[in-house]
Amino acid sequence: MNNIKENLALPVGTTLDRFIMRKQEDFPYATGELSQLLRDIALAAKIVNRAINHAGLTDIGGAYGKQNVQGEEQQKLDVVANIRFIRALRNGGEVCTIISEEEDEVIQTGNLKGKYIVAIDPLDGSSNIDVNVSIGTIFSIYRRISELGTEGTIEDCFQKGTEQVAAGYIIYGSSTMLVYTTGNGVNGFTYETSLGEFFLSHPNITTPKNGSIYSVNEGGYNYFPEAIKDYIELCRVRNYAARYIGSLVADFHRNLLKGGIYMYPNTLKSPGGKLRLLYECNALSFIVEQAGGKASDGRQRILEIQPSDLHQRCTFYIGSKEMVEEVESLLVARPVRNTQLV
């Protein structure tokens, strides 16, 4: 009986909605619109989470039978997640324009007075769906620079990552978490399914300055720049742990909490890199910097890259600050040349 009374006396915790309301004062230019936008994203995340949990019981697993704009085979849940997030953002009324990794062109929501632009990867790591590995959603939020009362423009979408007002990701795994920043630190919320709420579980996330985990697809080792091969050899000599899931969100989330580096270098097949600047790299770079880490393309800060294409790709090194800086120094010492099979 005493245990029951003690459990009932425990606080439930801070919900995402309550946390967002408390933080509204951080945005004197916004009168609740950004807060509502974050709630819209959280709502869509709950719906997508339910679909993912039912994937093994319903016919929404496996390939959709089409390719996205990057030429990658879409999974059925890619399409489901894309529809759900676009619908939530459109119906929420705060977003004038959406760009999605799954769409060829910009999406005009019809909300001409919406103040925000959203860039989203609705379902990162979707090739892992059928083998029950963690996957995720990544999003960036920008204030529009075009005139209110008009449709958003391509210039709205081509803002540097430094102009983000918020960014985050949702990881669907053993538990579902929403992690986001508005430029005032990073906070993580875990989804409590029985209550249907996200609760603050990881306040003020900071990432270690150094770590002992490196995450890279070593299947492409022979095609990596020599400097990256050198760094991988250093990691092996130091007995670092090699951890690579193949879902960017999952790899990033682990390294953010434990300390480590995620690398996606250029190769002969992808000389400009493979990950998408607008849908993946900018958001995670904003988050890692707010947590005390670093993100680079090997030459410059990711957030300072000027976008010029909706589906622009880049090389990507992100994680603990000292590890990323060591990679940068190696790349300076051994500049990238045409990578050949050795």
Q: Determine the topology of domain 11-202 in CATH.
A: Fructose-1,6-Bisphosphatase; Chain A, domain 1 (3.30.540)
**What's the confidence (pLDDT) of residue 48?**
94
Token code pair at residue 168: 């985050």
pLDDT for res 334: 80
3-state helix/strand/coil string of the chain: CHHHHHHHHCCCCCEHHHHHHHHHHHCCCCCCHHHHHHHHHHHHHHHHHHHHHCCCCCCCCCEEEEECCCCCEEEHHHHHHHHHHHHHHHHHCCEEEEEECCCCCCEECCCCCCCEEEEEEEEECHHHHHHCCCEEEEEEEEECCCCCCCCCCHHHHCCCHHHEEEEEEEEECCCEEEEEECCCCEEEEEEECCCCEEEEEECCCCCCCCCCEEECCHHHHHHCCHHHHHHHHHHHHCCCEECCCCCHHHHHHHHHHHCCEEEECCCCCCCCCCEEHHHHHHHHHHHHHHCCCEEECCCCEHHHCCCCCCCCEECEEEECHHHHHHHHHHHHHCCCCCCCCC
Annotated binding site for substrate: 124-127, 217, 244, 274
Please list, residue by residue across 124-155, b when 16 or more beta carbons sit within 10 angstroms of its beta carbon and e when fewer do. Answer: bbbebbeeeebbbbbbbbbbbeeeeeebbbee
Binding residues for Mg(2+): 101, 121, 123-124, 280
pLDDT recorded at residue 336: 60
Looking at residue 31, what is its pLDDT? 64
Q: How far, in Å, CA of 116 to CA of 96, rounded?
A: 6
213-333 belongs to CATH 3.90.1330.10: no
Residues annotated in a binding site: 101, 121, 123-127, 217, 244, 274, 280
- In this prediction, residue 340 carries a pLDDT of 44
- Residue segments in the chain with a per-residue pLDDT below the cut of 50: 7-10, 57-65, 338-342
Q: Where are the domains of the chain?
A: 11-202, 213-333
Q: Would the pTM of this model clear 0.75, i.e. be above it?
A: yes
